[in-house]
Amino acid sequence: MSRLRQASGAPRRLAATFARLRSQPGPGLVTYITAGDPDLDRTEGILRALDRAGADVIEVGVPFSDPLADGPVIQRATERALASGTTLVGVLDLVRRVRTAVTAPIVIFSYANPILRLGAEQFADQAREAGVDGVLVLDLPIEEAGEFRGLLAERGIDTILLLSPTTSDVRLLRAAEMGSGFLYAISRLGVTGARDVLADGAEQMVRRIRAVSELPVALGFGISKPEHVRAVGQWADAAVVGSALVSVIAAAGTSSDLNTRVEEYVRWLKS
Protein backbone atom coordinates (compact mmCIF):
# COMPACT_ATOMS: atom_id res chain seq x y z
CA MET A 1 0.00 0.00 0.00
CA SER A 2 1.33 3.46 -0.86
CA ARG A 3 2.23 5.62 2.10
CA LEU A 4 0.13 8.33 0.46
CA ARG A 5 -3.10 6.45 1.03
CA GLN A 6 -5.30 5.73 4.00
CA ALA A 7 -6.46 2.21 4.73
CA SER A 8 -9.68 3.06 2.90
CA GLY A 9 -7.76 3.81 -0.29
CA ALA A 10 -8.59 7.55 -0.21
CA PRO A 11 -5.69 10.00 -0.53
CA ARG A 12 -4.34 11.24 2.79
CA ARG A 13 -5.34 14.81 3.53
CA LEU A 14 -1.75 16.04 3.79
CA ALA A 15 -0.73 14.43 0.51
CA ALA A 16 -3.82 15.81 -1.23
CA THR A 17 -3.27 19.28 0.24
CA PHE A 18 0.34 19.57 -0.85
CA ALA A 19 -0.46 18.14 -4.28
CA ARG A 20 -3.02 20.92 -4.66
CA LEU A 21 -0.55 23.55 -3.44
CA ARG A 22 2.08 22.43 -5.93
CA SER A 23 -0.42 22.87 -8.75
CA GLN A 24 -1.27 26.44 -7.73
CA PRO A 25 0.72 29.68 -7.63
CA GLY A 26 1.91 30.86 -4.24
CA PRO A 27 2.83 28.94 -1.10
CA GLY A 28 0.55 27.25 1.37
CA LEU A 29 0.07 28.42 4.95
CA VAL A 30 0.53 26.16 7.96
CA THR A 31 -0.90 27.66 11.16
CA TYR A 32 0.10 26.69 14.69
CA ILE A 33 -1.98 27.25 17.82
CA THR A 34 -1.65 26.03 21.39
CA ALA A 35 -4.69 23.95 22.28
CA GLY A 36 -6.43 25.13 25.44
CA ASP A 37 -5.40 28.78 25.10
CA PRO A 38 -7.49 30.42 26.39
CA ASP A 39 -9.47 27.18 26.90
CA LEU A 40 -10.54 24.15 24.87
CA ASP A 41 -14.03 25.46 24.09
CA ARG A 42 -12.58 28.60 22.53
CA THR A 43 -9.91 26.54 20.78
CA GLU A 44 -12.71 24.76 18.95
CA GLY A 45 -13.91 28.10 17.60
CA ILE A 46 -10.35 29.06 16.67
CA LEU A 47 -9.91 25.85 14.65
CA ARG A 48 -13.09 26.56 12.73
CA ALA A 49 -11.96 30.15 12.12
CA LEU A 50 -8.58 29.01 10.80
CA ASP A 51 -10.31 26.65 8.40
CA ARG A 52 -12.71 29.35 7.18
CA ALA A 53 -9.78 31.72 6.64
CA GLY A 54 -8.07 29.21 4.35
CA ALA A 55 -5.29 27.74 6.49
CA ASP A 56 -3.92 24.86 4.42
CA VAL A 57 -2.68 22.83 7.39
CA ILE A 58 -3.49 23.34 11.09
CA GLU A 59 -0.95 22.39 13.75
CA VAL A 60 -2.49 21.86 17.17
CA GLY A 61 0.05 22.17 19.96
CA VAL A 62 -0.28 20.01 23.07
CA PRO A 63 0.68 22.05 26.15
CA PHE A 64 3.64 20.70 28.09
CA SER A 65 5.16 21.99 31.32
CA ASP A 66 8.72 22.22 29.98
CA PRO A 67 8.52 23.55 26.38
CA LEU A 68 12.26 23.91 25.76
CA ALA A 69 12.00 24.74 22.05
CA ASP A 70 9.43 27.48 22.49
CA GLY A 71 9.92 31.18 23.05
CA PRO A 72 8.07 33.36 25.57
CA VAL A 73 4.88 33.81 23.51
CA ILE A 74 4.16 30.08 23.21
CA GLN A 75 5.46 29.40 26.73
CA ARG A 76 2.87 31.80 28.14
CA ALA A 77 0.16 30.23 25.94
CA THR A 78 1.18 26.83 27.29
CA GLU A 79 0.90 28.10 30.87
CA ARG A 80 -2.60 29.41 30.20
CA ALA A 81 -3.60 26.14 28.53
CA LEU A 82 -2.32 24.03 31.42
CA ALA A 83 -4.05 26.33 33.90
CA SER A 84 -7.32 25.75 32.02
CA GLY A 85 -6.89 21.99 32.54
CA THR A 86 -5.88 21.02 29.00
CA THR A 87 -4.49 17.49 28.56
CA LEU A 88 -3.41 15.39 25.57
CA VAL A 89 -6.61 13.33 25.81
CA GLY A 90 -8.62 16.55 25.90
CA VAL A 91 -6.84 17.79 22.77
CA LEU A 92 -7.60 14.56 20.91
CA ASP A 93 -11.25 14.78 21.99
CA LEU A 94 -11.31 18.33 20.63
CA VAL A 95 -9.97 17.18 17.25
CA ARG A 96 -12.60 14.46 17.17
CA ARG A 97 -15.36 17.03 17.77
CA VAL A 98 -14.28 19.37 14.98
CA ARG A 99 -13.01 16.85 12.46
CA THR A 100 -16.11 16.73 10.29
CA ALA A 101 -16.38 20.53 10.24
CA VAL A 102 -12.71 21.29 9.48
CA THR A 103 -11.50 20.41 5.99
CA ALA A 104 -7.79 21.25 6.51
CA PRO A 105 -5.41 18.50 7.64
CA ILE A 106 -4.75 18.57 11.40
CA VAL A 107 -1.28 17.84 12.78
CA ILE A 108 -0.69 17.18 16.47
CA PHE A 109 2.41 19.03 17.66
CA SER A 110 3.74 17.63 20.94
CA TYR A 111 6.71 16.91 23.10
CA ALA A 112 7.37 13.22 23.78
CA ASN A 113 6.47 13.20 27.47
CA PRO A 114 2.66 13.59 27.17
CA ILE A 115 2.57 10.84 24.53
CA LEU A 116 4.72 8.48 26.60
CA ARG A 117 2.56 9.09 29.69
CA LEU A 118 -0.55 8.14 27.73
CA GLY A 119 1.23 5.28 25.96
CA ALA A 120 2.45 5.46 22.38
CA GLU A 121 0.09 2.79 21.06
CA GLN A 122 -2.91 4.18 22.91
CA PHE A 123 -2.06 7.64 21.59
CA ALA A 124 -1.84 6.31 18.03
CA ASP A 125 -5.22 4.59 18.38
CA GLN A 126 -6.89 7.70 19.78
CA ALA A 127 -5.27 9.91 17.16
CA ARG A 128 -6.64 7.71 14.38
CA GLU A 129 -10.11 7.69 15.92
CA ALA A 130 -9.99 11.48 16.24
CA GLY A 131 -9.04 11.97 12.59
CA VAL A 132 -5.51 13.29 13.15
CA ASP A 133 -3.57 13.49 9.88
CA GLY A 134 -0.02 13.86 11.14
CA VAL A 135 2.08 13.98 14.30
CA LEU A 136 5.23 15.97 15.00
CA VAL A 137 7.11 15.12 18.21
CA LEU A 138 9.52 17.97 18.86
CA ASP A 139 12.06 16.15 21.00
CA LEU A 140 11.98 12.69 19.40
CA PRO A 141 15.36 12.05 17.70
CA ILE A 142 15.18 10.75 14.13
CA GLU A 143 17.36 7.81 15.18
CA GLU A 144 14.76 6.73 17.75
CA ALA A 145 11.62 7.45 15.76
CA GLY A 146 11.29 4.17 13.86
CA GLU A 147 8.96 2.30 16.21
CA PHE A 148 6.68 5.30 16.75
CA ARG A 149 6.60 5.98 13.02
CA GLY A 150 5.51 2.38 12.50
CA LEU A 151 2.62 2.76 14.95
CA LEU A 152 1.42 5.85 13.13
CA ALA A 153 1.90 4.44 9.64
CA GLU A 154 -0.19 1.36 10.51
CA ARG A 155 -3.02 3.76 11.30
CA GLY A 156 -2.66 5.95 8.23
CA ILE A 157 -1.09 8.87 10.12
CA ASP A 158 1.90 10.78 8.77
CA THR A 159 5.07 11.29 10.79
CA ILE A 160 6.28 14.88 10.43
CA LEU A 161 9.98 15.37 11.11
CA LEU A 162 11.66 18.59 12.20
CA LEU A 163 14.89 19.71 10.53
CA SER A 164 17.19 22.60 11.48
CA PRO A 165 20.21 24.33 9.91
CA THR A 166 22.51 22.11 12.01
CA THR A 167 20.92 18.84 10.84
CA SER A 168 23.68 16.81 9.19
CA ASP A 169 23.45 15.48 5.65
CA VAL A 170 23.27 11.95 7.06
CA ARG A 171 20.28 12.85 9.22
CA LEU A 172 18.62 14.70 6.32
CA LEU A 173 18.79 11.48 4.32
CA ARG A 174 17.33 9.54 7.23
CA ALA A 175 14.51 12.06 7.57
CA ALA A 176 13.80 11.79 3.84
CA GLU A 177 13.43 8.02 4.27
CA MET A 178 11.30 8.12 7.43
CA GLY A 179 9.18 11.24 7.05
CA SER A 180 5.80 11.45 5.37
CA GLY A 181 3.25 14.16 4.72
CA PHE A 182 5.82 16.95 4.68
CA LEU A 183 9.11 17.94 6.27
CA TYR A 184 9.13 20.86 8.69
CA ALA A 185 12.25 22.99 8.32
CA ILE A 186 13.16 25.71 10.79
CA SER A 187 15.03 28.61 9.26
CA ARG A 188 17.24 29.44 12.23
CA LEU A 189 18.44 28.14 15.57
CA GLY A 190 16.94 29.14 18.90
CA VAL A 191 13.41 29.17 20.26
CA THR A 192 10.21 30.07 18.47
CA GLY A 193 9.19 33.69 18.03
CA ALA A 194 8.11 36.20 15.41
CA ARG A 195 10.83 38.25 13.66
CA ASP A 196 10.89 41.32 11.42
CA VAL A 197 13.02 39.58 8.77
CA LEU A 198 13.57 35.99 7.73
CA ALA A 199 16.76 34.20 8.66
CA ASP A 200 19.57 34.45 6.10
CA GLY A 201 19.91 30.68 5.88
CA ALA A 202 16.28 29.94 5.05
CA GLU A 203 16.80 29.42 1.33
CA GLN A 204 19.90 27.27 1.83
CA MET A 205 18.04 25.12 4.36
CA VAL A 206 15.30 24.32 1.88
CA ARG A 207 17.80 23.66 -0.92
CA ARG A 208 19.59 21.10 1.24
CA ILE A 209 16.33 19.28 1.87
CA ARG A 210 15.28 19.41 -1.79
CA ALA A 211 18.56 17.74 -2.72
CA VAL A 212 17.66 14.56 -0.78
CA SER A 213 13.85 14.44 -0.66
CA GLU A 214 10.80 14.94 -2.83
CA LEU A 215 8.57 15.46 0.19
CA PRO A 216 6.91 18.88 0.49
CA VAL A 217 8.76 21.34 2.72
CA ALA A 218 7.12 23.75 5.17
CA LEU A 219 9.42 26.48 6.49
CA GLY A 220 8.88 28.11 9.87
CA PHE A 221 10.28 30.16 12.78
CA GLY A 222 9.85 33.92 12.66
CA ILE A 223 7.10 34.28 10.05
CA SER A 224 4.57 36.99 10.87
CA LYS A 225 3.77 39.04 7.72
CA PRO A 226 2.45 38.47 4.18
CA GLU A 227 5.85 39.43 2.75
CA HIS A 228 7.44 36.64 4.81
CA VAL A 229 4.96 34.16 3.35
CA ARG A 230 5.69 35.39 -0.18
CA ALA A 231 9.44 35.11 0.38
CA VAL A 232 9.16 31.57 1.73
CA GLY A 233 7.11 30.65 -1.32
CA GLN A 234 10.17 31.19 -3.50
CA TRP A 235 11.76 28.08 -1.98
CA ALA A 236 9.30 26.05 0.11
CA ASP A 237 5.83 24.61 -0.42
CA ALA A 238 4.37 26.33 2.64
CA ALA A 239 5.14 28.88 5.35
CA VAL A 240 4.48 28.12 9.01
CA VAL A 241 3.17 30.85 11.30
CA GLY A 242 3.09 30.14 15.02
CA SER A 243 4.13 32.73 17.60
CA ALA A 244 2.60 35.64 15.68
CA LEU A 245 -0.78 33.87 15.51
CA VAL A 246 -0.56 32.84 19.17
CA SER A 247 0.05 36.53 19.98
CA VAL A 248 -3.16 37.47 18.17
CA ILE A 249 -5.04 34.90 20.25
CA ALA A 250 -3.41 36.16 23.46
CA ALA A 251 -4.34 39.76 22.67
CA ALA A 252 -7.96 38.82 21.95
CA GLY A 253 -8.18 36.57 25.03
CA THR A 254 -11.76 35.77 25.93
CA SER A 255 -13.25 38.68 23.98
CA SER A 256 -16.25 38.07 21.75
CA ASP A 257 -14.29 38.90 18.59
CA LEU A 258 -11.54 36.31 19.18
CA ASN A 259 -12.51 34.16 16.19
CA THR A 260 -12.99 37.17 13.93
CA ARG A 261 -9.53 38.51 14.76
CA VAL A 262 -7.94 35.11 14.12
CA GLU A 263 -9.74 34.78 10.79
CA GLU A 264 -8.79 38.31 9.70
CA TYR A 265 -5.12 37.76 10.58
CA VAL A 266 -4.88 34.52 8.59
CA ARG A 267 -6.64 36.07 5.59
CA TRP A 268 -4.15 38.97 5.78
CA LEU A 269 -1.20 36.54 5.78
CA LYS A 270 -2.61 34.73 2.75
CA SER A 271 -3.19 38.00 0.91
Superfamily of domain 15-188+199-270: Aldolase class I (3.20.20.70)
Q: Give the pLDDT band of residue 200 (cuts 50, 70, 90).
A: low
Segment 130-176, tens digit of pLDDT: 999 999 999 999 989 999 999 999 999 999 999 988 899 999 999 99
- pLDDT > 80? residue 7: no
Could you give the residue numbers annotated as active site? 59, 70
Q: Give the pLDDT band of residue 4 (cuts 50, 70, 90).
A: very low
Instruction: List C-alpha distances in Å: 163 to 20, 58, 71, 225, 264.
Output: 24, 19, 18, 22, 30
Is residue 164 within 8 Å of residue 186, measured between CB atoms? yes
Segment 14-61, tens digit of pLDDT: 999 999 999 998 899 999 999 999 999 999 999 999 999 999 999 999
Taking only Cα atoms into account, the Rg of the chain, rounded to an integer number of angstroms, comes to 17
Domain ranges of the chain: 15-188+199-270
| pTM metric for this prediction | 0.91
Q: Which pLDDT value is given to residue 157? A: 97
